[in-house]
Amino acid sequence: GAVVSQHPSWVICKSGTSVKIECRSLDFQATTMFWYRQFPKQSLMLMATSNEGSKATYEQGVEKDKFLINHASLTLSTLTVTSAHPEDSSFYICSAIYRGTLYNSPLHFGNGTRLTVT
Amino acid sequence: GDSVTQMEGPVTLSEEAFLTINCTYTATGYPSLFWYVQYPGEGLQLLLKATKADDKGSNKGFEATYRKETTSFHLEKGSVQVSDSAVYFCALSATNTGNQFYFGTGTSLTVIP
């Protein structure tokens, strides 16, 4: 159980275009989803926290107009990288947490999306 | 604020060697502690967890004990395999920060035959 599906697993796009990444919790309801960015051989950088039905909370330094997050349902959150540039190339990972669980529940991660902007 | 400090890598071991990856934490509340593993090109998978002091999490031969007195959660395995090669992340989630997770910087492990 507790499967998080992330699509696409990799995408190549041209500079200036937008890319949407989907994160779905397949067998549980997720009130909260997190979006991370990971640079090569580095740790996870939390970009934003997404709660179902409300606006995402962005971490300091993350441009909310560039990284649009929508959490329209308890099983789906999307991250759209708008007007992508080569410096946006990275590995993006989503994670989700069970609805209504205790604070000691683990995060469940998607398999990540490798974005390459040419 | 809450944080996790993890030993620097990379770590290279021969097959069947003993593994220890150190992790210490700082938390104002009563955190739960986790180890996640990331294989190349993939997301993170939960390896094990412990939710209170003296708990021992274990999975796939890996173990970690929640030590409140030393604020540590070191990961150990008695005999590593080549398939254990991955990046390992220590993490905490504290009750007073509303599901916020804090991750260590990750430790890359390479096991050679």
Residue A52: both structure tokens together:
């179902």
* pLDDT given for residue A101 in this prediction: 57
pLDDT the model gives residue B90: 95
Residues of chain B under the 50 pLDDT cut: none
A6 with B43: Cβ contact below 8 A: yes
- How far is CA A66 from its chain centroid? 13
B56, B50 in Cβ contact below 8 A? yes
What is the reported pLDDT for A107?
85
pLDDT of residue B98: 60
Q: Does the beta carbon of A47 lie under 8 angstroms from any beta carbon of chain B?
A: no
Q: What is the pLDDT of residue B97?
A: 59
Average pLDDT for chain A: 89
% of chain A residues with pLDDT over 90: 66
pLDDT in tens, A53-108: 888 999 999 999 999 999 888 899 999 999 999 999 999 999 998 766 555 678 88
Nearest by CB to residue A106, choosing from B43, B49, B98, is B49
Shortest CB distance from B34 goes to which of A43, A93, A106? Answer: A106
Distance from CA of A27 to the nearest CA of B (A): 16
Residue A78 C-alpha, separation from nearest chain B C-alpha, in angstroms? 17
Instruction: Return the pLDDT at A102.
Output: 55
- Taking the C-alpha atoms of residue B91 and residue A4, their distance in angstroms, rounded to an integer, is 19
Minimal CA–CA distance to B77: which of B37, B104, B44?
Answer: B37
